[in-house]
Amino acid sequence: MKNEIRVFAPASVSNIACGFDVMGFAIDEPGDEIVLRISERPGVTITKITGENGRLPLEAELNTAGAPLLSMIDKLHITCGIEMEIHKKMPLGSGLGSSAASAVGAAFALNELLDLGLSKEELLPFAIEGEKIASGSVHADNVAPCLYGGFVLIRGYNPIIDVVEIEVPENLYCTVIHPQIEISTKEARKILPKTIPLSDAITQWGNTAGLVAGLLKKDFGLIGRSLQDVVIEPVRSMLIPGFDEIKKAAMDSGALGCSISGSGPSVFALSSSLQTAVETGKSMKTALERFGLSGEVYVSKINKNGPRIIELK
């Protein structure tokens, strides 16, 4: 009988310029690690959290990784207790789906540890329970790509979440730079416009459809032309020092497009080769440093696997 599991759940880029709240994709790094153990103590006990400087609650019902487990235990009538360790491998408030990674990692780990046999579609509602705690609303544009892997479109939420997996070109690379500042998702949502001009909506719809078509057709020119955000980026970019310069540096390096990852402060760029993606990262970092900030750079293909088991015993 298995008693312990350690899993990795990847970071994700959401919104992808034109796809606010409806698009996201997983990347190879960073990510979170979750450890679960079967316990005689009923319920969920969080025994350790690392990498977040004591800022996350140990109470399971208040924790983004604990909430999915409590929901699974309740709805699936699980009788054993669970001990959990959470090892944060990426910063909070990074715009890289930190809370989603913890939620997905926990749900995925319990499914594997107890051989529950749940599909990704069945696990998704449980993982979203954790995301609700972090953002205060139901949106799956980080949770779904983290869980499914790859590039996903959230077509809608009613009557159930409709997740569409979109195949991407094999040589599509992502560069992410994470400035050493923090932006709260809840706060970043408060500054968004309540209404937008019809002309902006039309532009955004066209870009969203164009991005999907460009990915499916493997048309890098169309992908690049579609990575334009006329609704969210103009507002949220004001929270990121040097954003315009970072974006210009990425585009001058040959990136297809560049925008804010999630609610920021991370900024992502897509490229059609590894060499361009690496050079883009160097240029973005140089631009950021001109504003007195340091930042971590990550370069990877689109992560098609989602969460994975590190150790099972």
Active site residue ranges: 131, 185
DSSP state of 193: -
DSSP state of 150: S
Interior CA angle at 267 toward 140 and 105, to 5°?
40
| Structure tokens given for 168 | 């991407």
- Quick check: 17 and 233 in contact, CB under 8 A? yes
With a CB cutoff of 8 Å and minimum separation 6, the contacts of 302 are: 25, 26, 27, 150, 151, 168, 172, 174
Sign of the alpha-carbon dihedral angle for 204, 28, 70, 122: positive
Half-sphere exposure of 24 (CA within 13 A, CB side): 31
Residue 252's CB is within 10 A of a number of other CB atoms, namely: 12
Sign of the alpha-carbon dihedral angle for 192, 133, 18, 273: positive
CA dihedral angle for residue 220, residue 301, residue 139, residue 226, rounded to 10 degrees: -10
